[in-house]
Structure 1
Amino acid sequence: MSAICDDCGKPFDNGGEPFMLTCDECLRAEGARLAEEAANFRNPTPPPIPVRGGYYLTECGYCGWIGSSEQCLPSEEDVVCPVCCSGGCEDEPSEKDTEAHGEAVMQRILASEEQSARLARESLIVAAKLTAACEALKPFADYAERIATAHPGWDHDQFEIGLSVGACTLTFKPFRRARAVIAEPSEGGGGSAA
C-alpha cells in the first residue's frame, strides 16, 4: 500500500500499516539527528558547591565536569553527570579528582582577579575621558552661568536666544574635542565609552 510521507511529501510503501506516516529515509534522518542531539546535550553547569558530609569530589569522564557528587543526578546504577547526563562520573573518591578540583578552583580565582583588574583599569580610563570632556566643555558652562547670573528673570526661550547670540564669540572646537576624547578606544581595544 502506498502513502505520502508527512515529512518529505514523497510517496512510499507503508506495508499496509495505516499509522506509518513517515518514510524509512526520513525516519533514519530523524534518528541520526536525535542521536547527534543526545550526544551533544548539555545542561547548564551547576554552580560549584563545597563537598560536604558523605559526598565526594567527582569528575565526568565524558564532558570533564568536576564537582561534588551531591550535584549528580539520582540513579540506582551510575553516578550521573549533571551537565551531560552520562553515567561517566566516578563512583568513589580519588586523589586525582581532588587535585583536579583544586586546580580548577585556582583557575577560576585567577580569572576572577584578572577580570577585576581589567575592569578597574577600564573604569580609570572612562573617568579620565569624562574629566577631559568636562574640561573641554567648561567655556560653554561658564558662558551659560554668566548669562543666567546677568539675567535672572529670563525664561527658557530668552535664555536660549542669549546663548545663541553669544555663540558667535564661542567656537565648536571644545565640543568636538570633548566628543573626540569620549570616542577614543580604550587601551584594551574595547571600543568607545558611552
Structure 2
Amino acid sequence: MDICLYIQHDLPPRFNADLARDCRRLSASTDMCKHVANDGFGPPIMGGGDGGSLPERGAYDTDQFMMGMIFHARMRQHECLTADPTVATAVYVPFYAGFDAAMNQDNSDLTVRDALPQDMADWLVWRPEWRAMGGRNHFMLVGGAVAWRWRDDYAVPVRTRRLPGAVSTVDGMSSACSRVVVDMGSVINRP
C-alpha cells in the first residue's frame, strides 16, 4: 500500500501564508523576510560562504523558524499526494507554528501568546478530515528550539506534589485531557 498524503489545503491563510507575509515581526533585530524567499530556504550562499566552509552550491541562508515553511514546500512535492482525504494515510496540517512562536516569544500573556494555536485547534477539530479518525492521522511540524521553548508550560494535570512513577499513570492522566501536546525531545521511549 502506498503512503499517500493529504495536505489540509483549505487551512485559512492566517495559519501560514499571512504569517509568512508578516515576516518583519519574526525578529526585532534582524530582517527575517529574506529567509522567507525560496520556500523558506532563503537566498543561496554562493562561493562556499565565509571561509569556504560550505559547498559551492546547495547552501542557503535560512533560519530555524523557516522549518515549517520548508517542510510544507517539500510535502507539496510528495510522490503520492491525494485530493481525497478518505484515502490518505496521513493528513498534513501546514500550520507555521514556528513563525507564530517567534512573533510572540516575548509575550508573557499566555492568552495572547496561545491565541493563534488555539484558534487553529478550534478550527481543525470541526473539519470532516479530523472527525473521520479523531485526528489520529493528522500531523504538523514544530521544529527546533520552538518545540523546546515552552515545554514547561504544558503538563499532565496532577493535583498533588508527587510526580507519576509509571508510564501507565501518565497515560491514564493524559487520556483525560482534551488536548495532546507531544514534545519530541522529552517523549518517553516505549518498547
Same fold by TM (over 0.5)?
no
Q: Which has the higher contact order (CA 8 A, sep 6+)?
A: 2
TM-score, normalised by the number of residues in structure 2 = 0.19
Task: Look at both structures and tell me which one has the larger radius of gyration over its CA atoms.
Answer: 1
The structure carrying a bigger helix percent of its residues is 1
